[in-house]
């Protein structure tokens, strides 16, 4: 198995891939989401080959409970993110906000807590 550790805004690969994935809300923790999306488009340029999963805005209550179970107190909750006492920030999205950042994309709900955006 091979492993690559790199800045998500500048991955040192020049190959083409069938798909680019950003899963389990990692995109929602990145500071330069648009640069990451641009970097995903480079190796997987075809429409529909970039998949991003993010927390939905309806996930706030279950995530608060999950953080509490892990011993992380939520100290701030806004329309766009949750911040814990340890400084961890986790964003959540509405379909409208996802489209404003990603552009034209297909969005599917994953239960009540997440979205899958296919761009």
Note if the pTM is more than 0.95. Answer: no
DSSP 71: T
E-strand ranges in 1-80 read 20-22, 50-56, 74-77
How far apart CA 105 and CA 51 sit, in angstroms, is: 10
DSSP 27: G
Per-residue pLDDT of the chain (119 residues; tens, 9 = 90+): 777 888 999 989 888 989 999 998 899 889 899 999 999 999 998 999 999 999 999 999 999 999 999 999 999 999 999 999 988 899 999 999 999 999 999 999 999 999 999 99
How far apart CA 9 and CA 60 sit, in angstroms, is: 28
How far apart CA 44 and CA 81 sit, in angstroms, is: 29
How far apart CA 52 and CA 108 sit, in angstroms, is: 11
How far apart CA 30 and CA 26 sit, in angstroms, is: 7
Tokens matching residue 55: 């927390």
């Amino acid at each position: 198995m091979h492993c690559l550790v790199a800045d998500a805004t500048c991955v040192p690969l020049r190959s083409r891939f069938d798909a680019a994935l950003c899963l389990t809300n990692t995109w929602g923790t990145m500071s330069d989401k648009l640069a990451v999306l641009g970097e995903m488009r480079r190796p997987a340029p075809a429409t529909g080959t970039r998949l991003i999963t993010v927390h939905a805005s309806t996930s706030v209550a279950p995530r608060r409970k999950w953080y509490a179970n892990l011993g992380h107190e939520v100290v701030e909750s806004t329309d766009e993110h949750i911040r814990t006492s340890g400084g961890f920030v986790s964003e959540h999205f509405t379909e409208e906000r996802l489209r404003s950042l990603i552009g034209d994309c297909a969005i599917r709900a994953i239960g009540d807590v997440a979205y899958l955006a296919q761009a």
